[in-house]
Amino acid sequence: MLRLIYHSTIAFISLFVATHCWAEVSDSEDTQTVSKVLMLGDEVMLAYKSDLLELVGEKADLSFVTMPMQANPDWNAFCEASVYGRGYDVIHFSYGRELMVHDDGQPRVSNAETWTVYSRLIAALKKSDAFLVGCTTTPIRGSVEQYDSGVDWVYTTRFRQLLGPNGIKINDLWDYTRTRLNEMVQANSFLPSKIGSQLMAEQVANHLFEAIDEGIDPDRPRILIVGDSIVGGFYGPTRDLFAGEAIVYSGGTTYEDPDPDWKRIVDEYITKGGDRGWDVIQFNWGLHAMKHVDMNNKALDADQPGARVQFPPADYIRELETFVQELKRTGAELVFATTTPIPEGSTGAIVHLDQSAYNVPAIELMKRHEIIVNDLYGFALPRLEAIQHPNNVHFTAEGSEELANANYAVLSALITPSSN
């Protein structure tokens, strides 16, 4: 039997969640210490710093250090001065833009040399006892003096290739930003826009929270929430609501792929779950199916010639069916979250359209598979002006907290909290 959660008892839910949060804070003050986190990066890190501090709040003690400006620094000396002996639990690091600077048309460090530079950086950081998170360098939008936008992909790929084999968690901020470039990055710059700063901070905060949670009570129920940047917004507050009850992780789906490899995507979820696996997986795929693309399936503003919706409703449902079949391999309790509203007046590649043509048949599909539906669209729509950015699909911090409350109301009923 399908369980479609409409969130009609919001006042009760809000009261319950508020009481739940108070109890968790009271318990944690006596039993938990705040993790120390070191942020290493460049101007982009400094641009999203205030948003990140607001998101993390008192859940971690953040320190920020800018990376050396020279292209091939003495990493051991840098770590002696800024990293070692300071008791950091997590280090989130990004380095690469310094290597991409061009002099006389050539990068200061060749592609072949980047391997050595990155390897030495990783070797130096691994001497610390911290959990490492490597963050890819965000892309350039347009033209920037002394940079070649084609180089950032090559150098970023080289950096990313070194992280996995070294057992380092990857925050692929380059790929995340690439798919939303016009929205997230200022024109002819690599610095984030206002909304870009918020989205980058959300992604970084989410990876920090997952790093902090590594190894905590493996017997607790494990929840995976996958989707697009809307998940990036509400993941943090959802995780907070489950403090002491379950460990919550996040993940992505697909962005511009005209033929999504759902098997590979779900294999990544299974790998991320490790031997313990997942008790519950909440999933959504929708906004990036509804976005406009060009003939090469690259995001294109809807008002541009040749723009088309990438997945019409019939194609969307066919892909969603395949996604569901692959998700069943996980053995987890599945929950489908309806795609949140695209407001009138939104611009760019994702603009207002008839979402019922997507959400209604998606709900019918879940009914056939006896999958619970978390109706986030129905929850958000009547309060949209109060919780969503104007003319934008993304939600304010307060709006993301409201969506987190809705998640908790549905997902908490599906787990048996740990006794620890």
All structural domains of the chain: 1-31+219-420 (3.40.50.1110), 33-214 (3.40.50.1110)
In the predicted structure, residue 385 carries a pLDDT above the cut 50: yes
Task: For CA atoms 248, 251, 253, 256, give the dihedral sign.
Answer: positive
Q: Position of tokens 């001065």?
A: 81
The first and second tokens of residue 91, run together, are 């280090």
Q: Are 420 and 220 in contact (CB under 8 A)?
A: yes
Half-sphere exposure of 58 (CA within 13 A, CB side): 5
**Per-residue pLDDT tens for 152-182?**
788 888 898 999 888 899 999 998 898 888 8
pLDDT at 96 over 50: yes
Most confident range, picked from 218-222, 243-247, 284-288: 284-288
Query: Residue 2's pLDDT band (boundaries 50, 70, 90)?
Result: low
What's the whole-number mean pLDDT along residues 64-69? 95
Residue 10, C-beta contacts closer than 8 angstroms, at least 6 positions apart: 379, 405
* Angle between helical axes of 229-241 and 10-31 (0-180°, round to 10): 60
CA dihedral 113, 115, 118, 122 (to 10 degrees): -140
Q: Is beta strand 106-107 parallel, antiparallel or unpaired with respect to 102-103?
A: antiparallel
Spatial separation of the C-alpha atoms in residues 114 and 121, rounded to whole Å: 11
Least confident of 130-134, 213-217, 324-328, 394-398: 213-217
pLDDT at 418 over 80: no
The whole-angstrom separation of Cα 98 and Cα 76 is 18
pLDDT of amino acid 164? 84
Q: Quick one: pLDDT band at residue 112, thresholds 50, 70, 90?
A: confident
* pLDDT score of 210 more than 70: yes
Contact 393, 201 (CB under 8 A): no
Q: What is the mean pLDDT of residues 48-72?
A: 94
* Whole-number CA gyration radius for the chain: 21
What is the pTM assigned to this prediction? 0.73
Residue 185, pLDDT score? 96
- Label residue 369 exposed, middle or buried (CB < 10 Å: 0-12, 13-18, 19+): middle
Q: What is the mean pLDDT of residues 318-322?
A: 97
Rounded Cα–Cα distance for residues 312 and 100 (Å): 40
Q: Please give the backbone phi and psi of residue 150, each rounded to the nearest 5 degrees, phi first.
A: -75, -20
Contact 226, 282 (CB under 8 A): yes
Which residues contact residue 96 at a Cβ distance below 8 angstroms, ignoring those fewer than 6 apart? 114, 136, 137, 152, 155, 156, 159
Tokens of 335: 């929950």
